[in-house]
Amino acid sequence: MNTDATSKLAYEAVPKVPPFCQPTWLRPIITSGGQYKLAGGPTSFCQLDVVMADGIDGYVASRMDCDQLFALADDRNMASKAIDDLTIARPHFAGLDMSWSHLMGVLNVTPDSFSDGGVNHGLAKAIAAGKAMAVEGASIIDIGGESTRPGAEPVSRNQELARILPPITALARAEMLISVDTRHAAVMTRATAAGAAIINDVQALQGEDAMTAAAASGAPVVMMHMKGTPETMQQDPVYDFAPVEIYEFLKQRVAAAIAAGIPASSIAIDPGFGFGKTVTHNLQLVNWLSLFHGLGVVVLFGASRKSSIAKISAGEPAEARLAGSLALAAAAWRQGAQIIRVHDVAETAQALAVEAALRATDS
């Protein structure tokens, strides 16, 4: 297993300079019965890893409680705002209560997606699959018509629209909450007009006219981090420390969306497990997922059936990665992710029900 990217973060007992005298990032350390609720949800924390740049292309972290942070902070107002961003309950997102986690069911209507290409390629199959996922516990059905697996080649807008518009229309008419998984402005516009209520973009609305189209639609958006493109993203991705660098990218995208007229309450971010990351980067993202609540918006996480599971384990094909997918979904739930994107809805719903019951009896 690749173990790179771990040397650029070091721990020290006491920070060399006061927090918030320079860029500072806070990672809540999740615990049962903590003093602070993470984003108003079921998980909590008492301590934080306070991270700052060390001036030589690396990062240092010091673990402390919130009272220590306030006492040491160069700017107590900035410290207070940072804690508020981590703890304030998130407003409803696309009508969903964000005080607990929701499942987003993956419905790929493509012939070549990495884990289920062709399985739901056809209107009747797609409609049946979407309805089944809703019954199994999916709050959102995420419909995609272009594969973004590593090395995937783009398809034309007409191809993408021909694949997604019929199932979007049918399932929206059946009163299901539909997300369109696309990175193209024209597709966003047509899909939301057809009934898609959420736009989920793996390129974080950086494509031509994508931000304008998303803002004009009035739909909530999910913006994901991807290093490069699907064609290039796994060609030796490098970070000094992935969680902080991805956080900064998403911070900029949240600011851009707000400037374009999309309210913060209609923004979710996704750190992009598997999109331009090594196994080590992906594991860091899971362990540091609580960091991303500092952006003050909804956090979505998707690692279902990703190849890192097989690389950690025994090289299993995508359809044989359920156990690893459940482990990652449970880890994301413990880190406060409000939306978890999965292929196996019923199994994940059961696993998270057990996680929630364990947390409820340990507080």
In the chain, which residue ranges form alpha helices assigned H by DSSP?
A: 66-72, 76-87, 123-136, 157-173, 185-194, 210-217, 242-259, 279-287, 307-312, 322-334, 345-360
Q: How far, in Å, CA of 199 to CA of 181, rounded?
A: 6
Q: Are 161 and 190 in contact (CB under 8 A)?
A: yes
Give kind and range of the element (H or E) at residue 45: strand 44-53
Report helix, strand or coil for 195.
coil
Instruction: Based on the residue annotation, tell me whether 311 is a catalytic residue of this protein.
Output: no
Q: How far is CA 30 from CA 23, 260, 323, in A?
A: 23, 34, 23
Give the active site residue among 163, 227, 334, 341.
341
Report helix, strand or coil for 251.
helix
Q: How far, in Å, CA of 45 to CA of 54, rounded?
A: 25
Q: Are 51 and 16 in contact (CB under 8 A)?
A: no
Instruction: Based on the residue annotation, tell me whether 306 is a catalytic residue of this protein.
Output: yes
Pairing mode, strands 59-65 and 44-53: antiparallel
Give the active site residue among 149, 227, 306, 334.
306
Q: Nearest-CA neighbor of 278 among 249, 304, 307?
A: 307
Residues annotated as catalytic (active site), given as ranges: 306, 341
